[in-house]
Chains A and B, each alone.
Chain A
Amino acid sequence: MSIYNFFQIKFFAMKSTASQILPKKQNEILDLWMKQQLKDEGLRDDLMTNDDLKRDSIELLTVLLAVIKKDDFSNVESAEFDKVNEVLAGISMSRAKNGFSPRETAYFVLSLKEAVIPVLEKNITDARSLYSETAKFNKLIDSLGLVTIETYIKGREEVILRQTAEISEISTPVIQVWDGILALPIIGTLDSARTQVVMESLLLKIVETESTIAILDISGVPAVDSLVAQHLIKTVAATRLMGAECIISGIRPEIAQTIVHLGIDLSNINTKASLAHALRTAFNMLKLEVRKVNSSNKITAGV
């Protein structure tokens, strides 16, 4: 082989990997990518301006091309990718919190393929190299797509967590219905986190009002299974430690049936069908009586 041929081959070899080509073609890739994204029917220009989209795209592309300069770029776990993952995570999180769907968020990354592959095609003439470099790049984008999805889900979970905390706070009012008698209408499902909130509100109110009776009304609790029953039993036990007694009211007939079928023992808990009954029982326990004022307008000793 002549020296000329040797240099020719070397020349081609030098310019035929993604690492060598792509970093030089940032603007071309960006153009293609923006075109691709704006073309998509699912583009949410109601949630984000095209300028913001371009800014996000430039940010990701810059850090991505910096990493691609190194030849072995398909390992997303390696330290070099920290910056890329950070940028990507940031973008996904904000999309999640702003109401983008998972598909829309993933498309941001996946559409990059449509921008890069034409560039590789144009610049790699050897079919085998083109194939292997394209495959390498695809693998990279697929991994990044997964990172996007995971971060997106985490972002959504944080929204849910925050909303759950807010709902918890709003939906456990403790009402003083009489001197020494508190009523607590529980609305919604009773999981262990919620139970802790309920217990804390109730016990604090008991201390504050020096109440001795707490009526827990569960007519707003859709389903009572063994776990929920356990939470109720714990709440009653905690109330007793504060020197107060609990009455559980609002037990629907189906729930009474379920409880027995599940073998749950509520024998040492006071239960009543309705809040009204529970209130009457509470008055009895406090040795209070409600009487009608007699018709001659004399107010008899009553409540």
Chain B
Amino acid sequence: MIVLNKETIKIETEQDAVFLRKRVTEYATKIRMGLVNQTKLLTAASELVRNMLRYAGKGHVLCEVISLSILQTGIRLTFIDKGPGIKNIDDAMKDGFSTGKSLGVGLPGAKRLVNEFNIKSQVGKGTSVSILKWKNG
């Protein structure tokens, strides 16, 4: 795996979330990701950035364009915050589970939309969620 491009975007306001979407769209267009895959990636990112703003207040997102081979490129986004952390990740990954007033579909839903999903969290320290969407498949 080669990282072709790396960028860190600070997230503190909803405007930043809008900017993140714009950036990710640019990257996706550049590697010629199809519309449906783009939409899935952006929707997953939207879920995660919303979580970040709601629970941690702020954080940053590491955006990387990854190349596995000549035919397969993708985008990896890592959402890092120093928020309260998730007490029980297994619960959080179940559909319908919500500590807020939401539908509880954010994390497991985001996972379904991408090819790779990794989450690490420590209560009191923070959370890091990384998602990867390939251009094809």
Question: Do A and B come into direct contact in the complex, CB within 8 Å?
Answer: yes
Q: Which of B71-128 contact A (CB under 8 A)?
A: 71-72
Range class of the B interface residue count: 10 to 19
Cα separation A215 to B125 with both chains bound (whole Å)? 53
A165 with B136: CB separation less than 8 A: yes
B36 with A158: CB separation less than 8 A: no
B137 to chain A: which residues have CB within 8 Å?
Answer: 161, 193
Cα separation A193 to B115 with both chains bound (whole Å)? 11
Residue interface mask A178-216, B partner, CB < 8 A = 1? 000000000000000100100110000000000000000
Residue of B34, B36, B37, B72 touching A161 (CB-CB under 8 A):
B72
A161 to chain B: which residues have CB within 8 Å?
Answer: 71-72, 136-137
A202 to chain B, nearest CB (A): 12
Task: Tell me if A154 counts as interface (CB < 8 A to partner B).
Answer: yes
A200 with B136: CB separation less than 8 A: no
A196 with B36: CB separation less than 8 A: yes
Residue of B34, B37, B70 touching A158 (CB-CB under 8 A):
B70
Range class of the A interface residue count: under 10
Q: Say what secondary structure dominates the interface of chain B.
A: loop
| Nearest A residue (CB) for B137 | A193
Task: Tell me if B69 counts as interface (CB < 8 A to partner A).
Answer: yes
Cα separation A301 to B37 with both chains bound (whole Å)? 47
Task: Tell me if A24 counts as interface (CB < 8 A to partner B).
Answer: no
Cα separation A154 to B70 with both chains bound (whole Å)? 10
Task: Tell me if A162 counts as interface (CB < 8 A to partner B).
Answer: yes
| Nearest B residue (CB) for A158 | B71
B70 to chain A: which residues have CB within 8 Å?
Answer: 158
B44 to chain A, nearest CB (A): 15
Cα separation A161 to B134 with both chains bound (whole Å)? 13
| Nearest A residue (CB) for B71 | A158
Residue interface mask A146-165, B partner, CB < 8 A = 1? 00000000100010011001
A196 to chain B: which residues have CB within 8 Å?
Answer: 36-37
| Nearest A residue (CB) for B72 | A161
| Nearest A residue (CB) for B40 | A196
Cα separation A7 to B71 with both chains bound (whole Å)? 58
| Nearest B residue (CB) for A151 | B69
Beyond A161-B72, A193-B137, 11 extra complex contacts between A and B, CB < 8 Å: A154-B69, A158-B70, A158-B71, A158-B72, A165-B136, A193-B136, A196-B36, A196-B37, A199-B36, A200-B34, A200-B35
Q: Return 12 A-B CB contacts under 8 Å, by A number.
A: A154-B69, A158-B69, A158-B70, A158-B72, A161-B71, A161-B72, A161-B137, A165-B136, A193-B136, A196-B37, A199-B36, A200-B36
Residues of chain A having any CB pair with chain B under 8 Å: 154, 158, 161-162, 165, 193, 196, 199-200
Residues of chain B having any CB pair with chain A under 8 Å: 34-37, 69-72, 136-137
**Across the A-B interface, the 7 shortest Cβ-Cβ residue pairs:** A158-B71, A193-B137, A200-B36, A161-B71, A196-B36, A158-B69, A154-B69
